[in-house]
Structure 1
Amino acid sequence: MNYYKEWLKYLEYLQIEKNASKSTIEAYEKDLAHFFRFLTSENLESLSLVNYAIIRTYLTTLYEQGLVKRSISRHISTLRSFFKFLIREKIVLENPLVHLQLPRTPYKIPEFLYQEEINKLFDAIDRSSKLGKRNLALLEVLYGTGIRVSECVHITMDKIDFELQTILVLGKGNKERYVPFGDYAEKALVHYINESRSLLITEKSQPQNFLFLNARGNPLTARGVRLIINKQVEEAALTFQIHPHKLRHSFATHLLDNGADLRAVQELLGHTNLSSTQIYTHVSKDRLKKVYHTAHPRANR
């Protein structure tokens, strides 16, 4: 059984026509490899033989392997897109997933930091050292713009406009967007660039123009950002872990709590669909509900 030809065509379609990000293509590739192993075990020699019953059997195996509903939904979405492509290419006649329902996934409210916790995190940063100046600029940019960590580590010096206080970032699907930053981020960036960044560059550093550098003068990675944040959490004596996305969640939540327009927040976050941004309105409502039940004398018996 060989599905390699169709597989390569589909991945090429994702990259060239859909302009999908590298991480998206890798996720689809992994899901399809899993599916093809299942087809091989079932002795199915052609993709045209895959029907609704085969798909149901495949989903059963995913459940038996202990995959959570969210992961199974992703597998279904991958296969639905793949078979839609196969129909377009006239490799198969029908999509066996067209009537398949996605499993309901439990709603999860994004975790965020309260303003006092944000302040405590920032106050613990050593602003006198070259790495401390970098760390302050890094956290100010992450929280001050709400960009993803993958977008942050790919910022180059030429993408920053201090006059307009904007940064041009490359988001999912290789889509560019401008994000504004405020006075706190500007001050931290100026100090880092003028007083610290050049000190991090050594003779062995890789030639590059990236904004954020590690201690060896090379571009900072997403893993490096997580390590920096974990260290800052320890120094701030906070009792919980913070991942970079939590700063993004906090950015969106605090904007909406202070009256920002939902569509404006969608634009700032780089969300394609408004539904992706609407989860933060639930965060705000949940917070208001807790405040009400805690503070109002007749809210609880």
Structure 2
Amino acid sequence: MAAGSAGGEPWCGQCPTASQNAPRCPRTPHRPAPPASRRPGPEGPVPPQSGRLKGRVVRPVPVPDPRPLAAWVEGFLLAKRAAGCAPGTLTDYAAGLRHVRRWLLAQGRGEADPRELGRGDLVRFLAELADVPAPGKGRPLAPKTRRNVWVALKSFYRWLEGETGHPSPMAGVPAPRGEERPVRPLTQGEVQALLVACDRMAPARTARRRPFQMARATAVRDKAILLVLLDTGLRAAELCALTVGDVDLASGEVRVRRGKGGRGRLVYLGAAARRAVWRSLLERGRPTGEAPLFCGRFCGRDPGTARGSGTPGRDGRFSLTPDALLRLLKRLGERAGVADVHPHRLRHTFATEFLRNGGDVLTLQRLLGHRSLAMVQRYAEIVAADLQRVHAKASPADAWRL
């Protein structure tokens, strides 16, 4: 109840003035507590505040507590996970911010608070990022990767501004220019060669016998994967996330529960793709419900040995992962003699052939899951070039030499 004053004489800590609480104060003689400005703190008396304080609430000026980047990144990723960001988006954010931490370590500022970085620091970091080699590849980071780092920084500092009130230094920092890769759809002959490559392994050559080829155990599944990608234009992650219950083989309707940006949509399978999926499921004993539509190579084994396995379904099988899908298509392309085979190239093939066969850009936008028509405009330009070539060959005025 009592505390020592600056002069060593005790006072009452319960009542501010003698006139108010002296009759109820147990201390005799009564000594009122001094003003808060003269009470001793842990380092002695606090100097009085300037100005009139009566009737006012004095709020302390917030001083940012310095915390290293890693602590802020952890909170940022937790907030984004709670907000429902896709796992792929979280992975991109984490990878982009790891580049920032490596750069700070190289600068001798590994424990720096991200609020200490200014616009000039971030511009310099993004400029030097162009010379950073890609992990395990020995070549500089791709323009798309550098843009992903910029997006991660933009989102991180927007979150940090909401948490601390610190203005974002990313305002006005230009985004790295991405490389516009030409759209190169597969031809009909290349797709047929990929389907043939599903049946047999690469030729085996030994010293004492002629080269031979063995049948592939996953031929039925791999053909179904190729035809579904070709017929729907799904992204790699969207295909791998499909379950058996998402596909209606009677109508060909496929429900994409969580596409890019968390948006769902409906796509459709033709007769050939439905037949291939039915054969693949029949080979597995007709699984139903939440079982993955396409399993990894080791889906029937112990999860600890299932390399490249994804999320287990209720039947205990593990879904194919996007990385495993990329490796599968790359190996099929090597056996078929088709260069640069990957899931997105099959997506380009679907979009281009859809327009060539009479589809419209608005429907294509919905099937691909794009937000704007600008994303599908490049496919329309390819088809327009096709029409121009066809007209050049079939022009009546030119054919009649008029």
Normalised TM-score (structure 1): 0.80
In the superposition, relative to structure 1, how do residues 139 and 63 fare at CA in structure 2: closer, same or farther (>3 Å)?
A: closer
Q: Report Cα offsets for 1:30-87 as digits up to 9, x if no partner.
A: 2112223434536484333322222222223223434454333222222122111122
Residue equivalent to 1:106: 179
In 2: Cα distance, 1:142 partner to 1:180 partner: 11
Q: Which secondary structure does the structure 2 equivalent of 1:179 belong to?
A: strand
Aligned pairs, how many? Answer: 287
Asked if 1:190 corresponds to 2:278, the answer is yes
Q: Which secondary structure does the structure 2 equivalent of 1:198 belong to?
A: coil
In 1: Cα distance, 2:75 partner to 2:323 partner: 32
Asked if 1:266 corresponds to 2:374, the answer is no
- Consecutive unaligned residues of structure 1, counting only runs of 5 or more, are 202-207
In the superposition, relative to structure 1, how do residues 50 and 143 fare at CA in structure 2: closer, same or farther (>3 Å)?
A: same
Higher Rg of the two aligned structures: 2
Which of the numbers 322, 328, 332 marks the counterpart of 1:222?
Answer: 322
Asked if 1:121 corresponds to 2:194, the answer is yes
Q: Which secondary structure does the structure 2 equivalent of 1:178 belong to?
A: strand
Residue equivalent to 1:209: 291
RMSD: 3.3
By how many angstroms is 1:20 displaced? 1.8
Correspondences of 1:1-301 after superposition (within 5 Å) = 2-17=68-83, 19-39=84-104, 41=107, 43=109, 45-65=112-132, 66-92=140-166, 94-122=167-195, 125-126=198-199, 131-169=218-256, 170-194=258-282, 196-198=283-285, 209-214=291-296, 216=298, 217=300, 218-219=317-318, 220-233=320-333, 237-288=336-387
In the superposition, relative to structure 1, how do residues 293 and 242 fare at CA in structure 2: closer, same or farther (>3 Å)?
A: farther
In 2: Cα distance, 1:53 partner to 1:181 partner: 51
**Contact 1:48–1:91 under 8 Å retained in 2:** no
Question: What stretches of structure 1 move > 6 A for 4+ residues in a row?
Answer: 127-130, 290-298
Q: Which secondary structure does the structure 2 equivalent of 1:147 belong to?
A: coil
In 1: Cα distance, 2:366 partner to 2:275 partner: 24
- Consecutive unaligned residues of structure 2, counting only runs of 5 or more, are 1-66, 133-139, 201-214, 301-316
In the superposition, relative to structure 1, how do residues 82 and 241 fare at CA in structure 2: closer, same or farther (>3 Å)?
A: closer
**Contact 1:197–1:213 under 8 Å retained in 2:** no
In 2: Cα distance, 1:238 partner to 1:116 partner: 11
AA aligned opposite 1:158: G
In the superposition, relative to structure 1, how do residues 294 and 166 fare at CA in structure 2: closer, same or farther (>3 Å)?
A: same
Normalised TM-score (structure 2): 0.62
AA aligned opposite 1:257: R
AA aligned opposite 1:95: S
User: Which structure is higher in RCO with an 8 Å CA cutoff and minimum separation 6?
Assistant: 1
By how many angstroms is 1:5 displaced? 3.2
Q: Report Cα offsets for 1:2-43 as digits up to 9, x if no partner.
A: 1233212211222222x2211211111121122234345364
AA aligned opposite 1:187: R
Q: Report Cα offsets for 1:259-298 as digits up to 9, x if no partner.
A: 3222211211122343333332233345556667899889
In 2: Cα distance, 1:42 partner to 1:91 partner: 27
